[in-house]
Structure 1
Amino acid sequence: MRTLPIALAALAIPAAAAASPGSDAQAYLDRIKALDGTIHSVIVTNPDAPAEADAAAKARLPLGGRTVLVKDNIETREWATTAGSLALKDNFTKRDAPLIARLRKDGGVVLGKTNLSEWANMRSSHSTSGWSGVGGLTRNPHATDRTACGSSSGSGAAVAANFSWAAIGTETDGSVTCPSSVNGIVGLKPTVGLVSRTGVVPISHSQDTPGPMARSVYDAALLLNAISGTDPADPATADADAHKTDFTAGLSTYSLKGVRIGVMRKQIGNDKRVAALFQQAMDNLKAAGAVLVDIDYDMPDDSHASGFDEMTVLLYELREDLGKYLTSSPADIPIRSLADAIAFNKAHADKEMPWFGQDLFEKAEETTDKAAYETARANDVRITGPEGIDKLLADNKVAFLVAPTVGPAWTIDLVNGGNYNGSIGIGTLPAVSGYPHLTVPMGAVKGLPVGLSFVGAKWSDHKLLEAGAAYERVRTAVLPEPTFAPWKADPDS
């Protein structure tokens, strides 16, 4: 086990309630100032947060002045929304995304904005997660020479570093769940359409969704209460209010006794240490009364030959959706289309492309075949939804599916890009289908956190949160504390 160094412990936020939400907010600001120079997770902070927190508490609002950091591809009225790109450094829209307006209405306080993988990691196939032209490189607080994953890198690292009560990330495929897993926190990729995407710099209207990131399932659920709901400007959310509930209800009492859980054995991957950690989690679930059902399943291959073609969908929608967002921005920005962004990067290559290029941007600009796109999207939905998650749940008579989320954080390599182990996890299924995906810490491999994924049917967000909370209560693995130092072998971890 890794314990918090004495110097860092002095800056810890007290476990008990602070004298006021304002003093709690100030303590977070002080901690960011003292420690974020090591991990670069936060781009800008709100000096008025303490006063805003006290006002929210006085008004007896549901979140009571709790502080939230927001990924910098989500509009907030105070600051520019950059998606990490210098091309959007002046994107001062002076408006809150609807999900942020909901957050404030419920008494949440925007503490600041977090760094991310530039353009949500959709610019280059050789990118390094957590790097952006605006914010530099975000590092993992558990091991500063290792990745914070992406694209919600700053949100994941900041919550793990105890820089805020919670954070909001966004996901298209893995961008909430991977940073949550490798930073040792809880992350929920909700059902697409439960949380509005209006005011969020997009990749894909089919797969994009904001989601809560926190240090407990309860806190993630409480944040989801605030940010979820129907938005007339986002047609995907038409049914959100019908599925909105108190997501915290029953979390402390939900029982796994007799609950059938599908164990995705082939998606445990080829890392024996992760497999051992996963087995410990399965033993915990079984001890809690769950019925484990082994499932033999091969993940879809992203290729035309298999009928599954996620990349074609993302490339086509990136060009279309990003263009619409850039055109609609009221700010004085130098780009209004994907083609403009490509040209900007070329003109500012020394600052925007010192480590990797923009091959995905260039491919997206050329992906214009609407018929091919529509065929790919229809096939993707069928393969991952009705013939994927839905079929797995029905055929095996299970409530949800579990697997490791991803492996432990890999070493940062700006020259060669990420070293992601794709043999682990089932995140693509819920990402492409739009179904919910919850990751909960299940321990660590030599001090490096690893998460446990819970995946369910469309709109089963509350059920996944109940299951995740039940697992938290019976988890026997020891969770590591951030060290704010490079990784070092620890024989006791």
Structure 2
Amino acid sequence: MTARSILRSLAALVLGMVALGASASAQSGFHLQEATIADVHRAIRAKELTATQLVGHYLKRIEAYNGRCVTGAVDASTGYQLGDITPITNAKNVNALITLNLRGRRSKTDSADNNPNMQDALEQARALDEEFARNGQLKGPLHGVPFAVKDQFDTFDMRTTSGAAANYANDRPPMDAEIVARLRAAGAIILAKSNLGEYASGDRSTHGGTTCNPYDTARSAGRSSGGSGAAVAANLVMCAIGEETGPSARNPAANGSLVGIVATHSLVSRAGIIPASLTRDRPGALCRSVKDSATVLGVLAGYDPRDPTTADSMGRMAPQSYQSYADNADLRGLRIGVVREFMQVFTKADEDSVRIAEEALKDLQKAGATLIDPGPDGALFKDAIAQILPTLDAAASATNIRLLAEREPRVTGEVLFVMNRYLRERGDANIATVEDLIAKSIFFTHAPIDGVTLVPRTRLEDMLSTRQTLVKTSDGSVVQHRVPVGTLDVAGWHALRTTLQMLVNKVMADQRLDALVYPTKTIPAPLLANPVEPTNLKTVKESTKFTVDGVEYQRSVERATDLRAPLTPRLSPNAGLPTIAVPAGFTREVYDRAIAPGPSGAKQAGVLLPAKQIALPVSIDFLGRAYSEPVLIRIAAAYEAATRHRRPPKDFPPLQGEP
């Protein structure tokens, strides 16, 4: 039986309940499109909607809109698209969800799927309905709310592989990630695992395929958490969990006209995550409103003994519920600093996003905020960098916050250590090490694409050894040299975090600021499988000579002396500071890069193509000091209430009969 036929059968099972719910909802005014958590709970309390009916509505939308959105040869033996892909314009599908929480669909290693202790989504919904019928009480702040969880997070009842086609003996991990357990305890229904960039990088996974943007299916949904973002934007679920090592919670929020919250690094547990970093991973909440995202944050936040970093949050959490700061929020008396360094127009591709950000600044002022703005050519961080860097980090050559925020410290063994630790704790009988993942997985592949992450097999191999391109000084021949990864050393990341936090704290203290604001990014969603806007603006070439086994080699690298963020500025993840991305509008025109053929079939960034008239979402970020989530929620909610920029994608409308 095909996936679609299974979904049709399941949809038929709940059709009667859905029809009853639609009738009641029509009378009450409940509409599924853009519904909030409060809307759902209001309808449930009024006995106009049940959790089972709500899950049924979403299953029908998943059946209609979660198909493939790219073309490419399908491997006959696996059913996977393993080679080059081409996005489908106006596909009216997004391929956002990788695994559904329905019996028979949740695992490739458990075909029976008959464990009564592993309720599927419909069974969980019925249990919630029965409990509510008995006592009239909601189980928690997320009662009945259908969620998607990025496939990077462990779910004890569903396949978890970070999108990989990895041959686990048991593709279900032994226990939930801490944040998944907290969602369930609050009444949430984990309806699906969302697709992702394999091992939390890129737009594509071997097992799940490619996710597409609901506002233009030829474009990126937001890289590694794109499945989570696309699922919420296209209303396949109410909210989703993403993960951010670099930009991968705020980037899908920006690409999907969503609200994305990433908390202070130590506020939310990372236990039970297939890791991308020992130092920077952090979960993010993606919903369609500030209050809903804040409600999710309130469920996730707090100390977890399985993640020692969360001990820092003790005594530093909000004194009242996080969502309460979104109520009746206003900006009067608040001072917000404008990070002009992240609002530069480098090419015409930046112009529309910067224009929208300028409008957002005006809206903030109209709503009562005081802006501390150094002006279009100014630099908010200039004085702080000049004062702090010479004493704190004398080796740093950065002259602006763009360069500092994107810095890649020299570290060793980080990803290898944390991935092997995860696999050891998971305890699978077939896959216990990174070497096993390489040997016992199927991988998609393609030629290199400028600005697009390396293919997953290469990234796994790079965990084991670092690659260096060397030139033999005696004859000029080129040699690819690999150095095995040895000891673990992540001191560079901790030093960078300290530097960035000191800079933010000083700027905010000197200017008496409550938050910083800047565009989440200035390049809207790029085309899938295409080169993106070049990041290095200025570079210098540096060469070093050294000897390997008695032979002298030269290694040359280009070091950036100024750059633009490849996706979103990495000040927030690299500093570990809380940030909220909020919809700010839509583009009028978009500029893409032509493809310039490179060696071995590589796609390199060519000239800027003429403008296309496309409305793509644009967002702004509000960033604050550590544990300043309450004031950021207040600011974001007030801006949202004053502007209401979010609008659903037109190609994913309500279905016939949908309330």
Aligned to 2:515: 400
User: How far apart in 1 are the matches of 2:411 and 2:144?
Assistant: 37
Aligned to 2:632: 464
How many Å apart are 1:177 and its aligned residue? 0.6
Q: Is 1:82 paired with 2:161?
A: yes
Per-residue CA deviation, residues 313-357 of structure 1 (Å, 9 max, x unaligned), is 6763211101111122133343x3334434456xx4xx4324553
- Structure 2 counterpart of 1:481, one-letter code: P
- Structure 2 counterpart of 1:238, one-letter code: A
Aligned to 1:179: 252
- Superposed, 1:199-218 pairs within 5 Å as 199-218=272-291
How many Å apart are 1:22 and its aligned residue? 1.9
> What secondary structure is seen at the aligned counterpart in 2 of 1:230?
coil
Taking a change above 3 Å as real, the CA distance of residues 372 and 42 of structure 1, as seen in their structure-2 partners, is closer
Per-residue CA deviation, residues 228-260 of structure 1 (Å, 9 max, x unaligned), is 221111101113353334101131222211211
Aligned to 1:488: none
Per-residue CA deviation, residues 174-216 of structure 1 (Å, 9 max, x unaligned), is 1101111111101011111211111101122321111211000
Aligned to 2:445: 353
1:13 paired residue among 20, 26, 32: 32
User: How far apart in 2 are the matches of 1:53 and 1:229?
Assistant: 26
Aligned to 1:95: 175
Gaps of 5+ in 2: 1-25, 68-92, 103-119, 390-394, 399-403, 448-453, 467-484, 536-562, 589-614, 653-659
TM norm structure 1: 0.86
Return the structure number with greater strand share: 2
2:582 paired residue among 422, 440, 444: 440
How many Å apart are 1:293 and its aligned residue? 0.6
2:124 paired residue among 44, 52, 59: 52
Per-residue CA deviation, residues 275-317 of structure 1 (Å, 9 max, x unaligned), is 111111111110011010114146999xx85386854467632
> What secondary structure is seen at the aligned counterpart in 1 of 2:61?
helix
- Structure 1 counterpart of 2:331, one-letter code: L
**1:146–1:409: 8 Å Cα contact kept in structure 2?**
no
TM norm structure 2: 0.65
Gaps of 5+ in 1: 1-9, 122-128, 486-493
Q: Is 1:306 paired with 2:448?
A: no
Aligned to 2:573: 431
Q: Is 1:379 paired with 2:495?
A: yes
Aligned to 1:337: 433
- Structure 2 counterpart of 1:108, one-letter code: A
**2:335–2:372: 8 Å Cα contact kept in structure 1?**
yes
User: How far apart in 2 are the matches of 1:285 and 1:484?
Assistant: 31
Q: Is 1:149 paired with 2:225?
A: no
1:226 paired residue among 289, 299, 306: 299
**2:525–2:616: 8 Å Cα contact kept in structure 1?**
no
Taking a change above 3 Å as real, the CA distance of residues 310 and 404 of structure 1, as seen in their structure-2 partners, is same
User: How far apart in 2 are the matches of 1:400 and 1:215?
Assistant: 22
- Structure 2 counterpart of 1:56, one-letter code: L
**2:152–2:274: 8 Å Cα contact kept in structure 1?**
yes
Aligned to 2:649: 482
User: How far apart in 2 are the matches of 1:227 and 1:172?
Assistant: 18
- Higher mean alpha-carbon deviation, 269-278 vs 109-118, is at 269-278
- Structure 2 counterpart of 1:27, one-letter code: H
How many Å apart are 1:104 and its aligned residue? 0.8
> What secondary structure is seen at the aligned counterpart in 1 of 2:57?
helix
**2:414–2:489: 8 Å Cα contact kept in structure 1?**
no
- Structure 2 counterpart of 1:423, one-letter code: R
How many Å apart are 1:54 and its aligned residue? 4.6
Aligned to 1:389: 504
User: How far apart in 1 are the matches of 2:124 and 2:532?
Assistant: 39
Taking a change above 3 Å as real, the CA distance of residues 115 and 326 of structure 1, as seen in their structure-2 partners, is same
- Superposed, 1:243-322 pairs within 5 Å as 243-245=316-318, 246-270=321-345, 271-295=350-374, 296-297=379-380, 306=397, 310-312=407-409, 316-322=413-419
RMSD: 2.8
User: How far apart in 2 are the matches of 1:50 and 1:371?
Assistant: 45
**2:353–2:524: 8 Å Cα contact kept in structure 1?**
no
How many Å apart are 1:455 and its aligned residue? 0.4
Aligned to 1:159: 232
Aligned to 1:126: none
- Structure 2 counterpart of 1:434, one-letter code: G
User: How far apart in 2 are the matches of 1:298 and 1:239?
Assistant: 27
- Structure 1 counterpart of 2:397, one-letter code: S
**2:148–2:239: 8 Å Cα contact kept in structure 1?**
yes
Aligned to 1:25: 55
Taking a change above 3 Å as real, the CA distance of residues 315 and 344 of structure 1, as seen in their structure-2 partners, is farther
> What secondary structure is seen at the aligned counterpart in 2 of 1:439?
strand
User: How far apart in 2 are the matches of 1:371 and 1:168?
Assistant: 29
How many Å apart are 1:406 and its aligned residue? 1.5
Higher RCO (Cα < 8 Å, 6 or more apart): 1
Per-residue CA deviation, residues 26-76 of structure 1 (Å, 9 max, x unaligned), is 101110111111110001122342442353361522222111110001011
- Structure 2 counterpart of 1:455, one-letter code: L
**2:99–2:159: 8 Å Cα contact kept in structure 1?**
no
How many Å apart are 1:484 and its aligned residue? 3.7
Aligned to 1:365: 464
> What secondary structure is seen at the aligned counterpart in 1 of 2:224?
coil
Structure showing greater Rg? 2
Return the structure number with greater helix share: 1
> What secondary structure is seen at the aligned counterpart in 2 of 1:243?
coil
Q: Is 1:65 paired with 2:144?
A: yes
- Structure 2 counterpart of 1:29, one-letter code: L
How many Å apart are 1:479 and its aligned residue? 3.5
> What secondary structure is seen at the aligned counterpart in 2 of 1:233?
coil
User: How far apart in 1 are the matches of 2:534 and 2:274?
Assistant: 25
Per-residue CA deviation, residues 64-96 of structure 1 (Å, 9 max, x unaligned), is 211111000101111121111112664311311
User: How far apart in 2 are the matches of 1:305 and 1:459?
Assistant: 28
**1:141–1:160: 8 Å Cα contact kept in structure 2?**
yes
User: How far apart in 2 are the matches of 1:170 and 1:80?
Assistant: 18
**1:146–1:410: 8 Å Cα contact kept in structure 2?**
yes
| Number of residue pairs aligned between Structure 1 and Structure 2 | 459
User: How far apart in 1 are the matches of 2:625 and 2:410?
Assistant: 22
